[in-house]
Amino acid sequence: SGFAPPTQHVLEKSEVAPSKLNMKLKDVYEPLLSFFRPMTCRRKDEQTLIPCHVGEGLNTTECLKNKCCPSKTGHELKCYMPFKDNMQLTFRLLVLVAGGFLILGCLPFCCCACLQR
């Protein structure tokens, strides 16, 4: 009575597997997305603040956990959406491309050294 029939056991495993795969893909996808879409809390003069709706009575830690930026105006703490950091994106892409060219430049020397042996 304590054992499940084989068909029921297979169905349970198939239901659990896609959610675990989704979590693994999300864990890989999120850092990759944050690398190519850097965000910052530094505001320039012409940028308007877009409120981040995460609830009332927030502190700075809760605001940052929800991927929002804290802003203290007067006695009230407000959270706002972070801004795209185009300078950081430019720097990251430049380093990535330079690294790629460096690897491609060293590849013929490595191949020649291996083939001479």
30-60 tens-digit pLDDT: 888 888 899 898 888 778 888 887 766 677 8
CB 40 within 8 A of CB 88: yes
What pLDDT digit, counting tens, does each position of 82-97 carry?
999 999 999 999 999 9
The Cβ of residue 38 has, within 10 Å, a number of other Cβ atoms equal to: 17
CA distance 92 to 104: 18
pTM of the model: 0.61
